[in-house]
Amino acid sequence: MFDIKAVRKDFPVLDRQVNGKKLVYLDSAATSQKPLSVIKSLTDYYENYNANIHRGIHTLSEEATEAFEVTREKLRQFIDAAEVHEIIFTKNATEAINLVAQTYGRQNVLPGDEIVITPMEHHSNFVPWQQLALEREAKLVFLPLTEEGEIDLVAAEKLITKKTRIVAVTQMSNVLGTINPINELAKLAHNVGAVILVDGAQGVPHLQTSVRELDCDFLAFSMHKLLGPTGVGVLWGRESLLNAMPPYMTGGDMINSVSREKTTWNELPWKFEAGTPNIADVIASAAAIDYLNALGMDAVRAHEIELVEYAIKGLKGLGDAQIYGPHDATKRGGVISFNFKDVHPHDVGQILNDAGIAIRAGHHCCQPLMRDLKVMGTARASFYIYNTKEEVDILLEALKEADKVLGHVACR
């Protein structure tokens, strides 16, 4: 475990007040807060070596290029990829998934083929596959969930068939918190000759992730959810697959040679990085990875389990809260979606905001799942390394108040 007081000191925003109360930030699943080292890395780049990369032969450009590529190598190690050129920078997880759908997907999915997803996917790992299926006259197949909000593996075995080309699944649900059995799904996909894309937007920030152990084919995530700046997404893919895929966007940097008649593509990873990338934010992402490595991902996970266990117990103690997803903290990540019967989650969110508590309320970009759960939305508290049990207590106290304000009658 780590020293939580020392961790909190590294996040300046945690000192601020909201509505006259000390901020309790419980919305890290939307975006995490950033430590000083990340913020300083950004200003250091702009103050000392701002230059475009991969082109100039001047010192500033060389320094920026080196720092940019250092992040790529750190990411390779962080997710245990075999090759550094398998790491592609995008602007977010959404773009990384779209890249695969529009290149690998278009190339490999034919009429009558099937794309397998789950009902718990974020729209980012849902709409691109739905649109691809419509375009290719392919079928979108949904793996059913159990009552507890876990993927039904027995059903999955029957639904992943020779017709399946792609299985696209989240590593961790941003609503239910469920941690999915990627390894088992990868086996099922590979047994029928399909590939598996893992949406790691929620998983990678919280779980020690090895693409070799998961045995997946693509992994997509966003740095802004793991202490990094906004505007940096990561796509990891197997070298052989990336090499066989056409480019996603064309233009500068991604070419090898251009003539009036013809263009040839640059090698990996640059084939997929057209134009000037998000240099500053990629460079500062290295500080985010260093920060998590220093804490240790095992400790990050242990801290999260402790908080989730504590919060679920507390929420159950309130009596009126319906909690979605598995209740066992070891089977889920640090997001807890809940509802007070009949009370609109936005009202819960508003009252909590008055108490300085930031949660998210709504459909969480998972409208099909909301329909399955038969709710219009949920309130969602999500935790990260800087959250404490005291903050969970503040949340629980504020919910008790909300219960009074919103009327007990509505909650029964």
78: alpha, beta or left? (left if phi > 0; alpha if psi -120 to 50) = alpha
Binding site for ligand 7TS (CB under 6 A): 29-30, 92-94, 122, 124-125, 170, 174, 199, 201-202, 222, 360, 364-365
Nearer to ligand 7TS, 32 or 164 (CB): 32
Strand partners, 361: 379
Nearer to ligand 7TS, 199 or 304 (CB): 199
Nearer to ligand 7TS, 163 or 331 (CB): 331
CB of 370 to ligand 7TS, least distance (A): 13
Nearer to ligand 7TS, 227 or 365 (CB): 365
CB of 189 to ligand 7TS, least distance (A): 19
CB of 365 to ligand 7TS, least distance (A): 6
CB of 264 to ligand 7TS, least distance (A): 31
Q: Which of 216, 365, 366, 411 is catalytic?
A: 365
Nearer to ligand 7TS, 126 or 340 (CB): 126
> Smallest Cα–Cα separation from 222: which of 7, 32, 46, 36?
32
CB of 222 to ligand 7TS, least distance (A): 3
Nearer to ligand 7TS, 81 or 117 (CB): 117
Question: Is residue 411 among the annotated active site residues?
Answer: no
CB of 190 to ligand 7TS, least distance (A): 23
Among all residues, which ones are annotated catalytic? Answer: 365
